Homo-oligomer: A and B are copies of this chain.
Amino acid sequence: MAKRTGSGPATAESMATKQRDIAVSEFFLKNRHLLGFDSPRRALLTAVKEAVDNSLDACEEAGVLPEVAVELEQIADNRFRVTVTDNGPGIVKNQIPKIFAKLLYGSKFHRLRMSRGQQGIGISAAGMYGQLTTGAATRILSRIKNAKKAHSLAVQIDTKQNKPAILRDTEQDWHPTFQAVDAAGEPDGPPVVSKHGTSVSIEMEAAYQRGKQSVDEFVKQCAIVNPHLTLHYRLALQTKTEPADAKPEPATKSQPAKKPAPSQPVALAAKPGITAITYHRAVKVMPKIPDEILPHPHGVELGLLMQMLKDTESRTVRSALSNDFSRVSAQTALDVCTRAGIDPKTNPTRIAHHESEALYKAIQDTKLMRPPTDCLSPIGEAQILAGLQKEIAADFFTAVTRDPAVYRGNPFQIEIGLAFARPQENEGVGIEEPVRVLRFANRVPLLYQAGACAMTRGVIGVNWKSYGLSQPKDALPIGPVVVLVHLASVWVPFTSESKDAIASYAEIIDELTLGLQECGRRLAVFLHKRHRELEAARKRNYMELYIPHLALGLKNILGLTDKEEHKVVGNLKKMLEKTHLDV
- Expressed in whole angstroms, the minimum distance between the Cβ of A226 and any Cβ of chain B is 18
The answer on a CB contact under 8 Å between B306 and A89 is no
A37–B31 CA distance with the chains assembled, in angstroms = 20
Is A292 within 8 A of B4, CB to CB?
Answer: yes
Q: Mark A15-47, 1 if CB is under 8 A from B, else 0.
A: 110111111101101110110001000000000
Within 1-24 of A, Cβ neighbours of B (below 8 Å) are at 1-6, 8-13, 15-16, 18-24
- Contact status of A19 and B89, CB under 8 A, knowing A3-B293, A356-B135: no
A36 vs B2: C-alpha distance when bound (angstroms) = 38
Q: A486 an interface residue at 8 Å Cβ cutoff?
A: no
- Contact of A1 (CB < 8 Å), options: B26, B29, B109, B327: B327
Known contacts A6-B290, A496-B495; decide if A89 and B21 are in contact (CB<8 Å): no
Interface residues of A in 52-94 (CB under 8 A from B): 58, 61-64, 89-92, 94
With A1-B327, A98-B19, A110-B22 as given contacts, are A302 and B134 in contact (CB-CB < 8 Å)? Answer: yes
A260 within 8 A of B: no
Q: How far is the CA of A451 from the CA of B504 in the complex (A)?
A: 14
Query: Counting CB contacts under 8 A, is A106 at the interface?
Result: yes
Contact of A491 among B10, B30, B290, B322 (CB under 8 A): B30
Contacts of A381 in B (CB 8 A): none
**How distant is the Cα of A131 from the Cα of B302 in the complex, in angstroms?**
8
- A27 near B109 (CB under 8 angstroms)? yes
Residue of B nearest to A491 (CB): B30
A198 to B21, CA, bound (A): 22
Among residues of B, the one whose C-beta sits closest to the C-beta of A21 is: B105
Interface residue? A99 (CB, 8 A): yes
- Tell me, in angstroms, the Cα distance from A334 to B12 when the chains sit together: 41
A452 lies within 8 A of chain B by Cβ: yes
| A159 interface contact, C-beta 8 A | yes
Chain B residues with Cβ below 8 Å from A110 are 20, 22, 26
Q: Which of A4, A21, A22, A106 has the most CB of B within 10 A?
A: A22
- Rounded to whole Å, the gap between the CB of A131 and the closest CB of chain B is 5
Which listed residue, B1, B18, B90, touches A12 by the CB 8 Å rule?
B90
Known: A1-B372, A451-B452, A496-B34. A133 touches B95 (CB 8 A): no
Determine how close the nearest CB of chain B comes to the CB of A358; give it in whole angstroms. Answer: 12
Which 6 A-B pairs rank lowest in CB-CB distance, beginning with the nearest?
A: A9-B63, A132-B303, A18-B107, A22-B104, A12-B144, A16-B92
